[in-house]
Amino acid sequence: EVSEMSERSKHNVAHGLAWSYYIGYLKIVLPRVKKSMEEFSRANPNLLACRETWKLHILVPLSCDIYDDLEKADSNIQYVTDLTDITLTRAGTKKRVYKQSLYRIRDEDNKLWHCAVEFATPLHSLYAMSQDECAAFSREDRLEQAKLFYRTLEEILKGSKECAGTYRLIAYEEPAEAETHFLSREILWHLWQQRHEEYAVHEGNHPHTPPTTLDSTELNLQISGSDLPQPLRSDCF
């Protein structure tokens, strides 16, 4: 009965996606990210000066609307190269390849920042479910599941010793009105924060626009205990 109730209310969707994402991908690639960044840094010593940013930056848009091409999402984000491939035999597939891409992010002062960044791919499934009549998955369901996915993934990664210090989760809600460089500003804020944790950075060096990035505390407070979907934020963009 509990299983049937959970399936009807769709409470198990995000939880399962988060665990699958961790076991099937993040647990494999994250422990190897810093080694790949080190290899790239040795060949390009001027591009990755701040070790605090040698992580995989995982974008979690709560709309679940992800882009296959980051350069098309924001012209201030430019592809540089792929980091060293991770090749493993998995589930019957010989030499399965896992890779991450390195990007340069241009800030408002025309300064270039470099980082490995990608979207959390399971969000594509949540978005597709909300577009498929067979799934009976509403936009409100999608929003609640996106928040649950983020909180679940955060908890899983916090408990993972092998993944410690190898990732940065960036959860955000897109503004109501389209902004040309919204995504690059979100990423830049996190890069600045990480750099600031290691160095005393002059105030004028950080991104000029305050972030709209959300943390788990905000998400916990904003998820209603009732069955009815509630607005994510009250301050509007």
CATH number at residue 186: 3.40.50.12100
**Residue 17 domain-assigned (yes or no):** yes
Which residues span the domain enclosing 174?
Answer: 8-200
Count of the separate structural domains present in the chain: 1
Alpha-helical runs (H) found in 199-224: 216-222
Among 58-62, 101-105, 144-148, 204-208, the minimum mean pLDDT is found in 204-208
**Residue 115 domain-assigned (yes or no):** yes
Rg from Cα positions in the chain:
19
pTM: 0.80
**Which pLDDT tens digit goes with each residue over 210-233?**
455 566 555 653 444 444 334 333
Q: Helix, strand, or coil here: 110?
A: coil
How many whole angstroms separate alpha carbon 64 and alpha carbon 162?
27
**Residue 102 domain-assigned (yes or no):** yes
Tokens of 209: 């626009």
> Average model confidence (pLDDT) for the chain?
80
**Residue 144 domain-assigned (yes or no):** yes
Mean pLDDT, rounded, for 85-103:
86
**Residue 193 domain-assigned (yes or no):** yes
**Residue 235 domain-assigned (yes or no):** no
**Which pLDDT tens digit goes with each residue over 109-122?**
999 999 999 999 99
Among 131-140, 149-158, 162-171, the minimum mean pLDDT is found in 131-140
**Residue 205 domain-assigned (yes or no):** no
**pLDDT above 90 coverage of the chain, percent:** 46
How many whole angstroms separate alpha carbon 132 and alpha carbon 59?
24
**Residue 206 domain-assigned (yes or no):** no
